[in-house]
């Protein structure tokens, strides 16, 4: 086989975009032929890393040929690589957003974890929710997204076996002030109460405590050590209680992307990890 044909070969699914310098010789600059929808984060990040390496090599080639007849060719090469880079970055965003959508669907189905069960800050892990203060209970009730279990009122017993509300974070009072109700983010609001204290007492805190402990056991079973973490897993930043998706791993360092689009690198000691 001729040297030229060997150098022009790329892997299946890749195409040649110019040449790059590797080990003191020119080799094909192989990049993905297209962006495939629905790939996982690890696969997309691997292609993006490769393109970023190719851009560095292409940039070095451009600098070495700047002011020569070959300058234009290297500028075009950089433009093509930059276009592919943008497509892969967009695909990475879609893959990360897909994970968040999966989490949101689980919440809608009622599969909730303690990290999504908000308002527990400052409450000792060994203290039952039945024994915390009314202020602490109200914080849990008003935490948007929490599923709140209410006792079924006497006039509704026999008609329904349970009363659950996905908290919208708002407690409304009637114009006369004699009716208080937790507004739901789903199809149901809470039963009507005369006062906020009555509303707090109307919550089934025994049921809430049981769910809290069950959620803890689920989280513990999914927690993983930093050595076992892979791209695409989730990590929670302990100091700010914010969860992101891991898009890159550097030994003990993990680069996270959050649902708001921000990114930051953290040490393993700053994080807890969950397998996705």
pLDDT tens-place string over residues 55-97: 888 888 888 888 888 888 888 888 888 888 888 887 777 766 6
Q: How many CB atoms lie within 10 A of CB 258?
A: 15
Q: What is the mean pLDDT of the chain?
A: 78
**9-53 pLDDT per residue, tens:** 565 556 666 676 666 666 776 665 544 445 677 788 788 888 888
Which has more confidence, 224 or 208? Answer: 208
- Could you tell me the domains of the chain? 3-108 (no CATH), 129-217 (no CATH), 225-274 (2.30.30.60)
Any residues with CB less than 8 A from the CB of 27 and at least 6 apart, and which? 7, 19, 20, 21
Q: Describe the strand order of the beta sheet including 242-250 as a list of residue ranges.
A: 223-224, 271-274, 234-237, 242-250, 253-257, 263-267
Residue 152, both tokens: 């079924």
Residue % of the chain over a pLDDT of 90: 20
| 102 burial level (CB within 10 Å; 0-12, 13-18, 19+) | exposed
Most confident of 83-87, 176-180, 186-190, 221-225: 83-87
To 10 degrees, the CA torsion angle through 70, 72, 74, 80? -150
Residue pair 257/244 in contact (Cβ under 8 Å)? The answer is yes
Task: Flag whether pLDDT at 4 surpasses 50.
Answer: no
Both tokens of 13, joined, read 């699914």
Q: Which long-range contacts (C-beta less than 8 Å, at least 24 apart) are formed by 260-264?
A: 261/93
pTM for the model = 0.42
Using DSSP's 3-state secondary structure scheme, residue 172 falls into strand
Residue 180: count other Cβ atoms within 10 Å of its Cβ: 21
The answer on pLDDT for 104 being more than 60 is no
Lowest mean pLDDT among 19-28, 49-58, 162-171, 266-275: 19-28
Q: How far lies 67's CA from each of 55, 73, 74, in Å?
A: 19, 12, 11
Per-residue confidence at 3, pLDDT binned at 50, 70, 90? very low
């Amino acid at each position: 086989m001729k040297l030229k044909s060997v150098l022009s070969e790329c892997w299946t699914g890749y195409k040649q975009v110019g040449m790059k310098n590797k080990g003191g010789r020119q080799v094909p600059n192989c990049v993905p032929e297209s962006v495939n929808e629905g790939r996982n984060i690890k696969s997309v990040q691997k292609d993006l890393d490769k393109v970023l390496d190719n851009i560095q090599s292409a940039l070095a080639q451009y600098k070495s040929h700047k002011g020569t007849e070959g300058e234009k060719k290297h500028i075009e090469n950089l433009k093509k690589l930059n276009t592919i880079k943008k497509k892969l970055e967009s695909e990475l965003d879609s893959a990360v957003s897909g994970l968040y959508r999966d989490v949101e669907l689980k919440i809608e189905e009622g599969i909730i974890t303690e990290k999504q069960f908000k308002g527990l800050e400052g409450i000792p892990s060994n203290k039952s929710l039945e024994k915390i203060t009314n202020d602490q209970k109200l914080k849990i009730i008003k935490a948007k997204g929490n599923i709140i279990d209410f006792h079924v009122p006497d006039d509704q017993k026999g008609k329904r076996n349970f009363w659950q509300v996905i908290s919208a974070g708002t407690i409304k009072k009637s114009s006369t002030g004699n009716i208080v109700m937790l507004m739901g983010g789903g199809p149901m609001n809470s039963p009507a109460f005369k006062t906020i204290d009555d509303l707090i007492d109307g919550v089934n805190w025994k049921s809430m405590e049981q769910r809290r402990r069950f959620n803890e056991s689920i989280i513990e079973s999914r927690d993983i050590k930093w050595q076992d973490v892979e791209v695409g897993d989730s990590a929670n930043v302990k100091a700010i209680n914010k969860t992101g998706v891991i898009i890159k791993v550097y030994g003990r360092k993990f680069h996270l992307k959050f649902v708001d689009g921000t990114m930051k690198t953290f040490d393993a000691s700053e994080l807890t990890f969950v397998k996705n």
